[in-house]
Structure 1
Amino acid sequence: MAHAKEAEIFNRDESKVNWHDKALWFVRNKRDKAGSNVKGWEELRNLASAIKANVLSNLDNYLVQFEENAKKNGVHVHWAANAEEHNKIVHSILSKHKVEKVVKSKSMLTEECHLNPYLEANGIEVVDTDLGERIVQLAKEPPSHIVLPAIHKTKEEVDVLFQEHLNTKPSNGDPQYLTSEARKHLREKFLKADAAITGVNFAVADTGGVVVCTNEGNADMGTHLAKVHIACMGMEKIIPQEKHLGVFLRLLARSATGQLITTYSSHFNKPAPGTEMHIVIVDNGRTKQLSRDDFRASLHCIRCGACMNTCPIYRRSGGHSYKTTIPGPIGSILSPGIDLKKNSSLPFASTLCGSCSDVCPVKINIHEQLYQWRQIITKEVKQPVVKKSVLKITGRVLANSKMYGFMGKSARFMLKHMPRFMIYSKLNAWGKARELPKVKDGNFDEWYKKRQKNE
């Protein structure tokens, strides 16, 4: 279904929609406060954007440099052209070590590649150890947000979920109790795991090391206890030098959750004695996006989720309504590049207010790229007859001032004098959930001409 239809499902529970909206706006406000306390915040954003632009312009060189340095550190480096290759590589590593149990920290790339179901189909137990990720895994749902994967669930819903899967006692959604029980449950998984899989927030070309940012320490717990560590990264995660981490780490947490920095910013440069470390570098459509001049800047994204927290559409439609791994504004740019027809409704799930671009820490022109996709989609994807007809008529009206004036007068007259049941009919989609504003006499043009005469 199109995004609008999926959003209708989410909007059936009005109280939950309001709660979801307020929760994300609260995080957006924290972002603003955290950013305003940094001297030169805008310069940091400009610098981060420039570094990312440099990386994309020299991506081949930086990737080769990163591979060379990682191999010098004793790390095994693998290359995957797509999701299928990525999954096969990870499975081959696990099979070699006869791994039966895996603990995984948050990784949107592995979600993108559908790694969990692939490994499970091959007899390997995969446990997501980020609390939010574990919640949605138990619920058999995908994450609805890239930083706050279970933001769509209330603590009472989590309480019921834990009772069902972890045999906890009813607690009326007590966060402290639920977190404590989750910790007990996950600790056993850490101790019994044969391998650990992590994502990669930043890969440093001049050291060959990777950085993983978490607030729960779950990535560290998994990698330090297991004999095998597999880090999965999109090829755009490269930064040139270690000193550049000072720019991105200051931006990432503040933009994501309003924190000064993530609780754990863990550096993995080489395997510990007696262990193995593997890095899987994945394309999966990234070079194709890189080749699109209008959309290549979308690869600057550092997955902070700020654009989602501020987006009025995302906040009131929920992440699952996008039916993509990366929802929200940035996902609505990335997804059409993967499958234009399937994701053709997503660029229209936006007011084009520009708030997403305003909060993006790496200054991606998100709303402009959404507008660009709209132009492409209306040409290349067949549009509904009703929509095409309405827009064609609207275009003619807006292009003719006399016709526009006549239509305006007619609409004002009908809104004032027609019976309510005729105005709030099936034809009025806006009126399904909103009261139309009261109509005044005249319009701006008439008011302005009258004012000019009086002067």
Structure 2
Amino acid sequence: MNLVRPAASAHTHPGRSFQDPAATAGFQAVMRSAIEHKREAQLQVPWAQLRAQAHRLKAEAIGDLDRLLVHFEREFSARGGTVLWAPSARDAVEHVLAICRRHGVSTLVKGKSMISEEIDLNDALQASGIEAVETDLGEFIIALACDQPSHITAPALHLSRGDIGELFARKLGIPYSDDPHVLMTAARDRLRETLLRAQAGLTGVNFAVADTGTIVVVENEGNGGLSATLPPVHISLMGIEKIIARLADLPVFLQLLARAATGQKLTSYTHHFLGPEEGRKAYCVVIDAGRSEVLADPKTRESLYCIRCGACLNVCPVYRRAGGAAYRSVYAGPIGSVITAQLSGHRHGAELPFVSTLCGACQEECPVNIDLPHQLVHMRSRLAPDARDGRKGKAIGAAAFLMQGRMTYALASALVRVALRLAPACRPLLPFLSGWTRERALPALPKQSFKAWWKSRERERPR
């Protein structure tokens, strides 16, 4: 399993794209719009009650996970499906490759599945000579661009219509256009042909219902349903945390997910897959890949309640400033900062829990009311010993020394102000900082410090 993405290319470097004022303005406008739509959608339902109910239902399901997974397998198998257990990412990949070999699959179409990215499935399929084609429009665009997704629900959020028009002209050989209808039609025409000739389709799973053996997939484009029903073989990939106990619980999550993700009452399509039709095959690969370790710790277990809506990203000040690619993880934003380190057994993403202001906006927006600030603080405490080593430890020690007294702090503040004013001219002399200064511009300093301003204010106040 590799939750960490490779460094971005010069063309797609997150720092460079977010130095572009137009890119930043467009990104911020989309974030504001998403939040406004969510606010409007929340007013239509008893939001606080639904959140509390969803939190309780998820807590019950995760607490009873072993029994519910076995129940789900029994029900899904009774309807003709096959459940395959994957303790690790490697096991999951091997299951998918074995299915493809068994059915002579040369082309596989994919609906949106973040866990397939988590286990590096596309690379394994390509290495085995199997064509894997993304049918989600955002993922299709990202694959064409050899880029990295920037958001859980909107992978191509960082690209403008013009960017996509240029990409389609270059890759699909169509005349340049930035008209969304023209671009969507071009993508649909290309994907339709692939969907009709594919021997297998793969989707993620939004919810797996234990008492009926139902696999639930929600989407807005129709590609997930086509990927699952047009090819003769349907493969579902799910993490063990996707289980819910009862079909009667599903409406709670559907109302919350759509409103939190896109501000809709419900998504355009909600698919219930109850096993294969006659002459077809359905497989469900149930993946652990580090989740049992997260489950075993009562302090981290709550992160498994996540329903992948992306709401915490939309309000996170760090994500909104840096963008998704800056996290270099399959999962970005506050939830990504928590689960990247958790699922990898702390091998990857050790710096991400520290990439947060702990403002609490993420928990306020979470439709399942996950205490993300507490999760972040807990992960910091687990990972903090690493910070005492090397350059980080020296930097923290220096900061502690400078802040231990008023005189040293005042002197350090004055020196920092001088250094920051000289910084632009000194860039060529500081190559060891080029990774930072090349892509980032510090905001202009105020004319005086807050302390100096306060003193002058006190002097000017009438006595």
Alignment match, 2:375: 369
Alignment match, 2:44: 37
> Using the alignment, how far apart are the partners of 1:124 and 1:419 within structure 2?
55
**Letter paired with 2:372:** I
**Letter paired with 2:136:** D
Task: Choose 239-248 or 18-27, whichever is displaced more.
Answer: 18-27
The CA deviation at 1:108 is 0.4
> Using the alignment, how far apart are the partners of 2:419 and 2:400 within structure 1?
28
8 Å contact from structure 2 (residues 290, 345) kept in 1? no
The CA deviation at 1:65 is 0.7
> Using the alignment, how far apart are the partners of 1:25 and 1:407 within structure 2?
42
Alignment of 1:435 with 2:444, yes or no, is: yes
Alignment match, 1:142: 148
Q: Select the residue among 188, 208, 218 that pairs with 1:203.
A: 208
> How has the CA–CA distance of structure 1 residues 77 and 446 changed in structure 2, closer, same or farther, with 3 Å as cutoff?
same
SS at match of 2:205: coil
**Letter paired with 2:275:** K
> What TM-score do the two structures reach when normalised by structure 1?
0.89
Alignment match, 1:345: 351
The CA deviation at 1:200 is 0.3
8 Å contact from structure 1 (residues 309, 315) kept in 2? yes
Q: Select the residue among 151, 161, 166 that pairs with 1:160.
A: 166
Q: Select the residue among 57, 64, 67 that pairs with 1:58.
A: 64
* Aligned-residue RMSD, C-alpha: 3.0
**Letter paired with 1:165:** K
Alignment match, 2:320: 315
The CA deviation at 1:23 is 1.5
The CA deviation at 1:422 is 5.0
> How has the CA–CA distance of structure 1 residues 339 and 318 changed in structure 2, closer, same or farther, with 3 Å as cutoff?
farther
> Using the alignment, how far apart are the partners of 1:422 and 1:119 within structure 2?
52
8 Å contact from structure 1 (residues 415, 439) kept in 2? no
> How has the CA–CA distance of structure 1 residues 155 and 342 changed in structure 2, closer, same or farther, with 3 Å as cutoff?
same
1:261-316, Cα deviation, whole Å (9 max, x unpaired): 11001000121111111111000111111122221111100000111111111122
SS at match of 2:238: strand
Alignment match, 2:237: 232
1:63-121, Cα deviation, whole Å (9 max, x unpaired): 01111111111111100011111111111112111111111100001111111121121
State the 4+ residue runs in structure 1 displaced beyond 6 angstroms: 411-416, 423-431, 443-450
> How has the CA–CA distance of structure 1 residues 444 and 218 changed in structure 2, closer, same or farther, with 3 Å as cutoff?
same
Identity among equivalent pairs (%) = 38
> Using the alignment, how far apart are the partners of 2:348 and 2:199 within structure 1?
38
8 Å contact from structure 1 (residues 10, 321) kept in 2? no
Q: Select the residue among 349, 357, 362 that pairs with 2:363.
A: 357
Alignment match, 1:220: 225
Q: Select the residue among 392, 398, 408 that pairs with 2:397.
A: 392
Q: Select the residue among 183, 186, 191 that pairs with 1:186.
A: 191
> What TM-score do the two structures reach when normalised by structure 2?
0.87
SS at match of 2:267: coil
Structure 1: unaligned runs, 5 residues or longer: none
The CA deviation at 1:340 is 2.7
1:35-87, Cα deviation, whole Å (9 max, x unpaired): 1332x201111111111111111110110111111111111110001111111
> How has the CA–CA distance of structure 1 residues 445 and 18 changed in structure 2, closer, same or farther, with 3 Å as cutoff?
closer
**Letter paired with 1:275:** R
> Using the alignment, how far apart are the partners of 1:411 and 1:274 within structure 2?
75
1:311-336, Cα deviation, whole Å (9 max, x unpaired): 11112212111111111111111111
8 Å contact from structure 1 (residues 82, 285) kept in 2? yes
The CA deviation at 1:447 is 10
The CA deviation at 1:384 is 4.2
Counterparts in 2 of 1:101-180, with a 5 A limit? 101-171=107-177, 173-180=178-185
8 Å contact from structure 2 (residues 166, 176) kept in 1? yes
The CA deviation at 1:380 is 3.2
Task: Choose 258-267 or 285-294, whichever is displaced more.
Answer: 285-294
The CA deviation at 1:393 is 4.7
Alignment match, 1:24: 31
Alignment match, 1:241: 246
8 Å contact from structure 1 (residues 20, 316) kept in 2? no
1:168-210, Cα deviation, whole Å (9 max, x unpaired): 1111x11011011111111111111111111100000000111
The CA deviation at 1:382 is 5.2
Alignment of 1:280 with 2:288, yes or no, is: no
Task: Choose 427-436 or 136-145, whichever is displaced more.
Answer: 427-436
8 Å contact from structure 1 (residues 132, 150) kept in 2? yes
Counterparts in 2 of 1:48-87, with a 5 A limit? 48-87=54-93
1:359-398, Cα deviation, whole Å (9 max, x unpaired): 011111112211222222221355443x434433544666
Counterparts in 2 of 1:288-327, with a 5 A limit? 288-327=293-332
> How has the CA–CA distance of structure 1 residues 239 and 419 changed in structure 2, closer, same or farther, with 3 Å as cutoff?
closer
8 Å contact from structure 1 (residues 341, 381) kept in 2? no
> Using the alignment, how far apart are the partners of 1:415 and 1:316 within structure 2?
24
> Using the alignment, how far apart are the partners of 1:36 and 1:216 within structure 2?
25
SS at match of 1:277: strand
> Using the alignment, how far apart are the partners of 2:94 and 2:413 within structure 1?
63
8 Å contact from structure 2 (residues 7, 328) kept in 1? no
> Using the alignment, how far apart are the partners of 1:363 and 1:232 within structure 2?
25
**Letter paired with 2:260:** S
